[in-house]
């Protein structure tokens, strides 16, 4: 059996050569044979740029069909795909390009100069290409290659353990870590989800998620591609566009914010959702209230699942059987889960403990960080950092986090990253960043600061914007004389969260 994920996807392209498998409303539609041929052409572009098996190719690009071709071509030639959130600032990107040392970085024209400046200082082998603009314009090279019939048809053979992707996730301490994800991990996860959700080529996926995180890339895109089901690829989550294409689709995946936004739109009703087979939610907790309102409005019970970058998907509510609101369901086929107490033993049903997972979908470690990797595994068990309860009948509920993490609109934000920027500002003595309930994003960010004098929050906000992606910038700013600390000297964030719990919800 071939271990390159692309080989499985290519089987579908070849078996359904005349069927449109990827379409962008108002843009291009590609059949199976076009996807195969154009991926081969993109593969030639990358090989021409010097990419060899095992080399990283990073991409901070706009979502679209070119982005899909780029991802598939990297897999095809045995490269390692490194997607970057389009909101990351230059200083955030600088870290990734220095740490991962990609051979090729694809970015927007406006970021080109900055990326090229890193060739001297950080990564001598880096070649920068853009999807828009002129110089080194990947699209132009691609079009030239297509016209002249240049393509690399070969699919590079890979072992299951060979890397397919590196995705950076931040952490409670230090810098972001690159999670190393193999072809075997991705294939195992796609197979589990196919079985659990009965996904098939009869499904059409409504794809509104970004392609730079696990949810949109490995859950959404991979699952549809491996099964040969058509994908309607939207540039982003826009309720008008989503409602327009919904009647032509059967499965939608989203973060809870997508579902609350749909519910607040009067155009969304039983008619728009009548063709739908399955709505799936994940990346952040889905409120019981949202699940119930959705059921009342559409007759569909959203299927909630749970996962993370390091593991892909681990748990899912069942397709057939009880989809329990407030729970992420039992473990997926082939996955083992356990809930551990502080004493190192698994806790009895109903008690809160630390969730650990094991299986063929679990990543192999953090890029260049063997010690960090070792500290997050107990043998083959990966410590997720989530707090959970396992019910007598095998359903997992995520009830909290053992990590200082905010999840806003499905995006993970580590307070430490923001606190580091704030603590570096001249008038700031110390800071604490917390997440509190937000009606749209689930959690919103509040910054509490202690200053040498009265602080100018506009200046602090600007400092954050310069260094951090917009979604990480706090939306409420407060100055305190001191931060509340316990006897160990640790900041009592629970008190701050409680004090400011109504920051975004107060009427």
Instruction: Output the smallest distance, CB 123 to ligand AMP, in A.
Output: 25
Query: Residue 498's CB: how many other CB atoms inside 10 A?
Result: 11
Asked if 211 touches ligand AMP (CB under 6 A), the answer is no
Asked if 291 touches ligand AMP (CB under 6 A), the answer is no
Burial 28-56 (b: 16+ CB within 10 A, else e): eebbbebbbbbbbbbbbbbbebebeeebb
Measured CA angle at 242 (ends 239, 245), to 5 deg:
150
Please identify which residue in 359, 410, 415, 474 interacts with ligand MLC, judged by CB under 6 A. Answer: 410
Please identify which residue in 14, 439, 470, 490 interacts with ligand MLC, judged by CB under 6 A. Answer: 470
Task: Specify the pairing of strand 163-169 against strand 177-182.
Answer: antiparallel
CA distance 72 to 120: 29
Q: In the block, which residue shows the tokens 């780029």?
A: 70
Q: Name the binder of 408 from ligand AMP, ligand MLC, none, CB < 5-8 A by kind.
A: ligand MLC
Please identify which residue in 185, 189, 250, 412 interacts with ligand AMP, judged by CB under 6 A. Answer: 412
CA distance 97 to 115: 8
Instruction: Output the smallest distance, CB 112 to ligand MLC, in A.
Output: 22
Q: Name the binder of 237 from ligand AMP, ligand MLC, none, CB < 5-8 A by kind.
A: ligand MLC
Asked if 216 touches ligand MLC (CB under 6 A), the answer is yes
Nearer to ligand AMP, 7 or 290 (CB): 290
Question: Helix, strand or coil for residue 80?
Answer: strand
CA distance 116 to 128: 6
Nearer to ligand MLC, 210 or 228 (CB): 210
- Name which of residues 435 to 494 contact ligand AMP (CB under 6 A): none
The percent helix, strand, coil of the chain (3-state, each to 5) is: 35, 25, 40
- Count of positions on this chain that bind ligand MLC (CB under 6 A): 22
Instruction: Output the smallest distance, CB 261 to ligand AMP, in A.
Output: 17
Instruction: Output the smallest distance, CB 167 to ligand AMP, in A.
Output: 8
Q: Interface with ligand MLC by CB under 6 A: which range of 90-98, 302-310, 378-386, 446-454? A: 302-310
Contacting residues for 305 by C-beta, under 8 A, at least 6 apart: 280, 281, 282, 313, 315, 316, 317, 328, 329
Q: Name the binder of 216 from ligand AMP, ligand MLC, none, CB < 5-8 A by kind.
A: ligand MLC
Asked if 9 touches ligand MLC (CB under 6 A), the answer is no
Q: Name the binder of 190 from ligand MLC, ligand AMP, none, CB < 5-8 A by kind.
A: none
Asked if 304 touches ligand AMP (CB under 6 A), the answer is yes
Displacement of CA 48 from its chain's centroid (Å): 29
Most distant CA pair in the chain: distance in Å? Answer: 71
Binding site for ligand AMP (CB under 6 A): 169, 214, 282-285, 304, 306-309, 328, 384-386, 398, 401, 407, 412
């Amino acid at each position: 059996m071939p271990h390159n994920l692309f080989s499985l996807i290519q089987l579908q392209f070849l078996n359904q050569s005349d069927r449109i498998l990827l379409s962008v409303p108002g843009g291009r539609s590609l059949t199976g044979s076009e996807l195969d041929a154009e991926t081969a052409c993109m593969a030639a572009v990358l090989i021409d740029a010097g990419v060899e098996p095992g080399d990283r190719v990073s991409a901070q690009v706009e979502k679209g069909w070119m982005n899909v071709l780029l991802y598939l071509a990297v897999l095809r030639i045995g490269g390692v795909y490194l997607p970057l959130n389009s909101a990351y600032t230059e200083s955030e990107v600088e870290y990734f390009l220095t740490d991962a040392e990609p051979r090729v970085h694809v970015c927007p024209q406006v970021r080109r100069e900055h990326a090229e400046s890193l060739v001297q200082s950080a990564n001598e082998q880096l070649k920068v290409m853009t999807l828009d603009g002129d110089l080194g314009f990947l699209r132009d090279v691609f079009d030239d290659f297509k016209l002249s019939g240049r393509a690399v048809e070969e699919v590079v053979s890979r072992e299951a353990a060979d890397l397919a992707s590196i995705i950076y996730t931040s952490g409670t301490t230090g810098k972001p870590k690159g999670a190393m994800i193999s072809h075997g991990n991705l294939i195992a996860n796609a197979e589990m989800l196919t079985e659990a959700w009965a996904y098939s080529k009869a499904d059409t996926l409504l794809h509104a998620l970004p392609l730079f995180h696990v949810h949109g890339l490995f859950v959404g895109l991979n699952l549809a591609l491996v099964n040969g089901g058509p994908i309607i690829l939207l540039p982003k989550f826009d309720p008008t566009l989503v409602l327009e294409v919904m009647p032509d689709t059967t499965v939608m995946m989203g973060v809870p914010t997508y579902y609350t936004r749909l519910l607040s739109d009067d155009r969304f009703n039983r008619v728009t959702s009548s063709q739908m087979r399955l709505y799936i939610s994940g990346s952040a907790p889905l409120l019981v209230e949202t699940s119930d309102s959705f059921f009342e409005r559409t007759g569909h019970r959203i299927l909630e699942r749970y996962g993370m970058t390091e593991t892909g998907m681990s748990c899912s509510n069942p397709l057939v059987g009880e989809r329990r609101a407030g729970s992420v369901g039992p473990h997926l086929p082939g996955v083992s889960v356990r809930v551990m107490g502080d004493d190192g033993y698994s806790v009895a049903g109903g008690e809160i403990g630390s969730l650990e997972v094991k299986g063929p979908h679990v990543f192999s470690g953090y890029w260049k960080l063997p010690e960090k990797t070792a500290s997050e595994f107990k043998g083959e068990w990966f410590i997720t950092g989530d707090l959970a309860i396992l019910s007598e009948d095998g359903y997992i509920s995520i009830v909290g986090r053992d990590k200082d993490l905010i999840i806003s609109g499905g995006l993970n934000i580590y307070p430490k990253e923001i606190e580091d920027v704030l603590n570096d500002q001249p008038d700031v003595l110390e800071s604490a960043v917390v997440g509190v309930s937000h009606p749209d994003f689930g959690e919103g960010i509040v910054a509490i600061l202690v200053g040498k004098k009265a602080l100018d929050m506009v200046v602090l906000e600007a400092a954050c914007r310069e260094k951090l992606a917009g979604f990480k910038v706090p939306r409420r700013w407060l100055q305190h004389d001191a931060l509340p600390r316990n006897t160990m000297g640790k900041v009592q964030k629970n008190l701050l969260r409680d004090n400011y719990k109504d920051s975004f919800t107060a009427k």
